[in-house]
Amino acid sequence: MIGKLTGLLDSVAADSVIVDVNGVGYIVHTSVQVLTHLPAVGESVTLWIETAVREDAITLYGFGDPADKLWFRLLTSVQGVGAKAALAVQSVLGAEDIARAVMLADVAAVTRANGVGKKLAERIVNELKDKVPTLGSAGVRMPAPVVAGEGRRPAAPDHATDAVSALVNLGYGLSDASRAVQVAAQKAGEGADVEALIPLALGELVR
């Protein structure tokens, strides 16, 4: 399973790129937002990869950071949302924008995506509200609340995102990983890095 690719940007198409890794060209499908932030052809590029395996094909989807990859997984977990629709949403909304739309039930923002109507947008907002226990660890940037009774703040959102991504890559479900990292962040306190969060989160998952 491919989790990340680093290589030379070989070519760019309307909805995909080819990344040359030691002479092997990987076709990676991605969103418009990623395409608009790519380096020049021939320069080094790094993409976080979600691999979809079917009987007739192995398809790679690429993202600029782990938060975008996590949102792709969340979006495609919604009934009726395939990879094409998920990338359409991510083409018009970044990770913070999607998190904000879910948090505020902003259906209109989601319908900006090509091919996503009101009913599907409502389903996305409604289903993801239940699947994201901590929006901070899924891409939204907001001040960290003080933990009641402890007077400490949880770890920075970037560290939490990386910790969730690492746990997902280990095979844990996104919801379970997010909850575990949230608890770990509260225990670790402000400034905890990924190396501190992951052992605490694993301790929560194996209970």
Question: How does pLDDT run along the chain (207 residues), one tens digit per residue?
Answer: 788 999 999 999 999 999 999 999 999 999 999 999 999 999 999 999 999 988 888 999 999 988 888 899 999 999 999 999 999 999 999 887 888 888 788 999 999 999 999 999 999 999 988 765 444 444 444 333 333 333 334 444 457 777 777 777 666 776 677 778 888 888 887 677 777 888 888 888 876
CB 128 within 8 A of CB 163: no
pLDDT at 165: 73
Looking up residue 28, the CATH number of its domain turns out to be 2.40.50.140
Range(s) of the domain holding residue 175: 137-205
Residues 122 and 141 in one domain: no
Residues 58 and 73 in one domain: no
> What is the Cα–Cα distance from 44 to 21, expressed in whole angstroms?
10
Residues 141 and 171 in one domain: yes
Tokens 């226990």 belong to 133
Tokens 């690429």 belong to 62
Show which of 63, 89, 112 is a domain's final residue: 63
pLDDT at 50: 94
Residues 97 and 153 in one domain: no
User: What's the domain count of the chain?
Assistant: 3
Show which of 22, 38, 63 is a domain's final residue: 63
The strand pairing partners of 28, in sequence order, are 17, 60
> What is the Cα–Cα distance from 136 to 121, expressed in whole angstroms?
21
Question: If you count DSSP H runs as helices and E runs as strands, how many of each does the chain have, helices first?
Answer: 9, 5
Residues 59 and 115 in one domain: no
Residues 55 and 86 in one domain: no
Pairing assessment for the beta strands 4-12 and 16-21 based on DSSP bridges: antiparallel
